[in-house]
């Protein structure tokens, strides 16, 4: 397989949780609503089969809830064309969409949420984007080292 990359994708569980994804047909859903250029560009760089942590933000406690796989390459986020959506983008046209999304498929919900506190306590993650001061990016790259260190919490 082509080189597999790793990512982290944030969602507020009150808006879209890992259980919401689990309840979708084929456990697959579109990751819509991303309205940040850096995050968008990371989604455009995603390849089929890349894996990502599903991170729950703005909740108690925040943390990693599960693992998803990229099931469809970046394509225009339909909510940008919907005048009634909070994600409406007046500058966007069908010919020149501004915002993109990928589809993700649930690989597994982790046996328990790995909290932000626990992540901060792991020396192997000291350089992780998520843990950087002031980091707000909703889509982030994760290094293979970080990925493995996190999985090691579950696969003893």
Under rule CB under 7 A, residue 129 binds DNA: no
- Interface characters, 44-83, with DNA (x: CB under 7 A): -------------xxx--x---------------------
Give the shortest CB-1-to-DNA separation in angstroms: 30
Nearer to DNA, 2 or 14 (CB): 14
Of 48, 25, 47, 53, whose CA–CA distance to 109 is shortest?
A: 53
Which residue of 48, 122, 137, 153 would you call a contact of DNA, by CB under 7 A?
Answer: 137
Interface with DNA by CB under 7 A: which range of 21-29, 45-53, 65-73, 128-136? 128-136
Which residue of 35, 76, 118, 129 would you call a contact of DNA, by CB under 7 A?
Answer: 35
Give the shortest CB-25-to-DNA separation in angstroms: 26
**HEC per residue, the chain:** CCCCCEEEEEECCCCCCHHHHHCCHHHEEECCCCCCHHHHHHHHHCCCCCEEEEEECCCCCCEEEEEEEEEEEEEECHHHHCCCCCCCCCCCCCCCCCCEEEEEEEEEEEEEEEEHHHHHCCHHHCCCHHHCCCCCCCEEEECHHHHHHHHCCCCC
Under rule CB under 7 A, residue 36 binds DNA: yes
Tell me the C-alpha distance between 140 and 25, whole Å: 26
Give the shortest CB-3-to-DNA separation in angstroms: 26
Binding interface with DNA (CB under 7 A): 10, 12, 35-38, 57-59, 62, 116-117, 132-138
């Amino acid at each position: 397989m082509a080189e597999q990359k790793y990512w982290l994708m944030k969602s507020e569980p009150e808006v879209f949780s890992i259980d919401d994804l689990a309840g979708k047909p084929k456990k697959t859903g579109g990751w819509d609503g991303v309205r940040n250029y850096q995050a968008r560009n990371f989604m455009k760089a995603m390849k089929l089969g890349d894996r990502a942590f599903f991170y729950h933000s703005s909740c108690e406690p925040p943390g990693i809830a599960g693992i998803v796989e990229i099931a469809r390459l970046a394509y225009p986020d339909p909510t940008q064309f919907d005048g009634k959506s909070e994600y409406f983008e007046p500058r966007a046209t069908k010919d020149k969409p501004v915002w993109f999304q990928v589809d993700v498929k649930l690989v597994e919900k982790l046996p328990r949420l790995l909290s932000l506190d626990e992540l901060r306590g792991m020396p192997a993650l000291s350089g992780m984007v998520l843990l950087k001061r002031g980091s707000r990016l909703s889509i982030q790259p994760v290094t293979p080292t970080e990925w493995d260190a996190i999985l090691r919490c579950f696969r003893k």
